[in-house]
Amino acid sequence: MVRFFGDRLMYFAGRKLVRLYMEVGLSMDIVRQAPMPRGAKVIVANHPTTSDPFLITALSREHAIILIKEVLFKIPVFGVYLKWCRHIPVKPGEGHKAFEAAAGLLRRGKTIIVFMEGDISPAEGGMGKPKTGAVRLALTAKAPVVPVGIGVRKERVKRVYSVVKGTRELGTWYLSGPYAMTVGKALYITGEAEDRERVRRLSAQVLEKVAVLARESEKRIGYT
């Protein structure tokens, strides 16, 4: 019980700091095409910058849990914060563990955030290939999918290399300037999570919806 309240305290304290940064450091532009459903849902988005996981949590008033690369949990202080907020590490070769953890939280009414490309979007623009985990999660837990398209000014992205536990990692940080998110209508998809062909087809369709929303976000901040 103490840990539960500690999680919530750390999460919402961190989100207040994020909101403050959004107001001071960024020119935020958020458009919602429809109200976001309450309770269990899978928020899916493109991933143009390393800053996205911090900023996207502002979209939901509920405690949203992100699937994040495991290496980020090794960063001093920041990694501890991620653990306290109950974000889920995705380890290479152990994606099934992250999937089961996320599915269990969805069944308990939590919100899960997934960046469908699995990594940062291509530097030249566009989207990477869709991973199928988000759609499989939604089908497994019978939860709606909420697509989000993020738009940034690419000339403002700061590329910074750092070494984390002996691994050289590229951070594409967005520290200032216009940052836009377009939240689409919730998608209620049906089918069996074990139907691989249908899951692949649905994943491509969902990512295309995200791409359309991302282009709308880019247009609003003058990036085409």
The whole-angstrom separation of Cα 125 and Cα 35 is: 29
CA dist 60 and 43 (Å) reads 9
Distances (CA, A) of 100 to 89, 97, 103, 199, 214: 12, 5, 5, 17, 29
How far is 158 from 152, CA to CA, in rounded Å?
Answer: 12
pTM score, two decimals? 0.90
Edge-to-edge strands of the sheet including 145-152? 26-32, 177-183, 145-152, 41-45, 111-115, 64-69, 88-90
CB-CB contact of 82 with 54 (8 Å): no
List the pLDDT tens digit at each of the 224 positions of the chain: 434 444 666 676 777 777 778 888 899 999 999 999 999 999 999 999 988 988 898 888 888 999 988 887 877 666 777 777 789 999 888 889 999 999 999 999 999 999 999 889 998 888 999 999 999 999 999 999 999 999 999 899 998 877 776 777 778 889 899 999 999 999 999 999 999 999 999 999 999 999 999 999 999 998 76
Domains and CATH numbers, the chain: 2-220 (3.40.1130)
Q: Which are the contacts of 63, defined by CB distance < 8 A and separation ≥ 6?
A: 7, 8, 11, 12, 86, 110, 111
